[in-house]
Structure 1
Amino acid sequence: MSYAPEQASVANPQGWRARLRGRFQRWVKRRIPPSRSVTLDQKRIFIMPSRVGFFFLLCLAVMLLTAINYENNMSYGLTFLLATLFIVAILHTYANLAGLGVHAVLARAAFPGQQTEFDLRLERGGKRPRFDLRLRWPESSEQRINLADSASEVLRFYLPVGRRGWYHPGRLLIETTYPLGLLRCWTWVDLDLCAVVYPQPLASPELPGQAALAGDGGALPMPGSEDFDGFRDYRGGDSLRHVHWKGLARGQSLQSKLYVAHAERDRWLEWEAFAGLPVEQRLSHLCYWALDFDRRREAFGLRLPGTEIRPDSGDTHRELVLTALALHGVERPA
């Protein structure tokens, strides 16, 4: 029965492929660790012949065998000249990436199902121009750029995001086949750049608790205020300016005018307002009401387990509240 594991590995090739891929990814992570800013050097760059390069080498081998068979000096000279061209191309292809600077700039937040924006900056590094640089993340489209006239360039990528929390786009692939296409030089860079994914807004009929209070505030008696609210019976100590003299002249009882001011009530988005619902559903409801209050330009606060954001309004406050909802119970990816 000692052959059982061997048979299992043969029967399930995807298993050993996954293990091999995991080992390779761990090796790349040790060799090129995550960083917000990377300068490409010999340790971070890989180079191999491209498909055209392998065909070129095969042609060189055939030409060499032909030259040996026919003992033709012209064939020897052409074969060695092309081999020298291949060796020189190795140096130029490697130099097209060596010294290039890659810097993380920005990762914009988004809602599930939307596309988020990742910005990064490429720096030429010295006076050497860079040609035919190709960059892409696993789920983004490829961008090509030349750094000849400018020392740096900002690139913008759009990637679809999934569930709430942190979204990490993976390793950025940078490659080039300049100048002859015979060799492929590339690297995988982890820019340690993550985007925040907000909860999916989910409407609810009403917001339980204090946050559901309608109107701009509650009416409170404020002597001397400009807002007239009616009459009440005269009380000793009332200002004579507030006495309803016209009513007294018409034979009515002595009354005082009542003035009020509206005191703003604090709106709070409470975690316990949706008790009994699953965590994601609670966060989605709170996200909906946060956007609703922001749309109406009303001040509101947020209370989550371990987090309290005082009532306020504006774009900065909205982003603060949505980020707190997005990262509730979520750890930043290692």
Structure 2
Amino acid sequence: MNPMSRLRRRFQNWIATRTPRVPGPWTIGRRRVYIVPTRYGYGYGLLLFVMLLGAMNYSNSMAFALTFLLAGIGLLAMHYTHGNLVNLSIAAQGADPVFAGDAAQFSIRLDNPSRSPRHALTIAWQDQLPLAHADVPADSSATLSLALASSKRGWLPAPRFAVATEFPLGLFHAWTWVELDLACLVYPKPAADGAAPLSSGHGDDGRWTTQRPGPDEFSGLRGYQAGDALRSIHWKSLARNPQPLVKLFSDNQADELWLDWQALPSSWGPEQRLAQLCRWVLDADAAQRQYGLRLPGGSLSPALGAQHRHACLAALALH
């Protein structure tokens, strides 16, 4: 390992000891704000040094006054840059589930409890360029989003990120490290369409229909029986048949669809099975078919809706 890599690792380990993982909200204290000059700040300091040498060489009081005035402005800029972060509160807003391979979006809320606005704030993952920018008005908040690539299913914890600013003059860079207890659920990547047709083992498409009493379709007539509602009597048939007839209706009942781990080929590995089950969940949900999920060690009863889809995909993600 080269010296720079060793130094970087030691620096990251030091940051980790100074930045525990917290659930949030977390308030930035004065002792947790780090500040260094930017390249413009170093240039500004060099300019002041040259001006000071010139003033001393020519014993010019106006040159001294201008040099000290600019030095005072630099010190004032350092004070405001540092104060732009102090007492800012940071909280996790959560992350919507994504499929493996997609970018997870972590929402971070910045709360400004002071009466002064906070300008030109940026947040970024460690060792990455700033990904989001915001101005936070006084007694207000702003929500920023940080994208992070996902590669495999399961929980994706949010890594350490930096909240930074160079306001107001860009002469100094102030930042703090934050590690919130925040994670995104990553679903398995769905298999390609048509890799294995959706089927429950009952017919070609996994569904059969049965007739049951219902209001959907007219299915025939039967003789009148005591207790039948008057509105169900087929009045038009009385002209041909003195015996009253009653109208029958039925609707189509779809069979419950089971997405079963054991129904997949035995030669398939676990991740291939999970990918195919994920595809079946999405297809069944899009077709508005009641479906259940059977996995080794547990199952989910057939149902419909976004909540059931999430429960099935979460079970696949954490299997």
TM class by shorter-chain length?
A: 0.7 to 0.9
Give the 3-state SS of the residue equivalent to 1:17 in structure 2.
helix
- Partners of 1:142 and 1:107 lie apart in 2 by 16
- The counterpart of 2:169, out of the listed 180, 184, 188, is 180
Give the 3-state SS of the residue equivalent to 1:33 in structure 2.
coil
* Residue 267 (structure 2) pairs with residue 267 (structure 1): no
Give the conservation status (yes or no) of the 8 Å contact 1:211–1:267: no
* Structure 1 residue aligned with 2:274: 283
* Structure 2 residue aligned with 1:47: 35
- Partners of 2:254 and 2:129 lie apart in 1 by 47
Give the conservation status (yes or no) of the 8 Å contact 1:32–1:44: no
- Partner letter of residue 33 of structure 1? P
* Structure 1 residue aligned with 2:224: none
- Partners of 1:127 and 1:58 lie apart in 2 by 35
Q: Which runs of 5+ in 2 are unaligned?
A: 221-249
Give the 3-state SS of the residue equivalent to 2:181 in structure 1.
coil
Structure with the largest fraction of strand: 2
- Partners of 2:92 and 2:202 lie apart in 1 by 39
* Structure 2 residue aligned with 1:144: 133
Give the 3-state SS of the residue equivalent to 1:192 in structure 2.
coil
Give the 3-state SS of the residue equivalent to 1:43 in structure 2.
helix
* Structure 2 residue aligned with 1:250: none
Give the 3-state SS of the residue equivalent to 2:41 in structure 1.
helix
* Residue 104 (structure 2) pairs with residue 116 (structure 1): yes
- Partner letter of residue 24 of structure 1? F
Give the 3-state SS of the residue equivalent to 1:297 in structure 2.
coil
Cα deviation for residue 82 of structure 1 reads: 2.4
Residues 188-245 of structure 1, C-alpha deviation per residue, up to 9 Å, x if partnerless?
32223222222121143345765877454575999xxx9979xxxxxxxxxxxxxxxx
* Structure 2 residue aligned with 1:63: 51
Residues 4-25 of structure 1, C-alpha deviation per residue, up to 9 Å, x if partnerless?
xxxxx5xxx3xx4333323222
Q: 1:248-327 counterparts in 2 under 5 A?
A: 265-274=255-264, 275-327=266-318
* Residue 8 (structure 2) pairs with residue 21 (structure 1): yes
- Partner letter of residue 17 of structure 2? R
- Partners of 1:220 and 1:213 lie apart in 2 by 19
Cα deviation for residue 273 of structure 1 reads: 2.3
Give the conservation status (yes or no) of the 8 Å contact 1:31–1:43: no
- Partner letter of residue 6 of structure 2? R
- The counterpart of 1:33, out of the listed 20, 27, 30, is 20
- The counterpart of 2:184, out of the listed 195, 200, 211, is 195
Which shifted more, 142-151 or 123-132? 142-151
Give the conservation status (yes or no) of the 8 Å contact 1:268–1:300: yes
Give the conservation status (yes or no) of the 8 Å contact 1:125–1:151: yes
Give the 3-state SS of the residue equivalent to 2:312 in structure 1.
helix
- The counterpart of 1:154, out of the listed 143, 146, 167, is 143
- Partners of 2:40 and 2:81 lie apart in 1 by 14
Query: CA 1:95/1:284 → structure 2, altered by over 3 Å: closer, same or farther?
Result: same
Residues 33-82 of structure 1, C-alpha deviation per residue, up to 9 Å, x if partnerless?
22232211123311011111111111222222333333333333332332
Give the 3-state SS of the residue equivalent to 1:146 in structure 2.
strand
Query: CA 1:63/1:262 → structure 2, altered by over 3 Å: closer, same or farther?
Result: closer
Residues 258-294 of structure 1, C-alpha deviation per residue, up to 9 Å, x if partnerless?
xx99876443222222232122111111101111111
Which shifted more, 318-327 or 194-203? 194-203
- The counterpart of 1:80, out of the listed 68, 72, 75, is 68
Residues 71-112 of structure 1, C-alpha deviation per residue, up to 9 Å, x if partnerless?
333333332332222222221111111011111112011223
Give the 3-state SS of the residue equivalent to 2:48 in structure 1.
helix
- Partners of 1:80 and 1:176 lie apart in 2 by 25
- Partner letter of residue 308 of structure 1? S
- The counterpart of 2:95, out of the listed 100, 107, 117, is 107
- Partners of 1:212 and 1:278 lie apart in 2 by 26
- Partner letter of residue 270 of structure 2? V
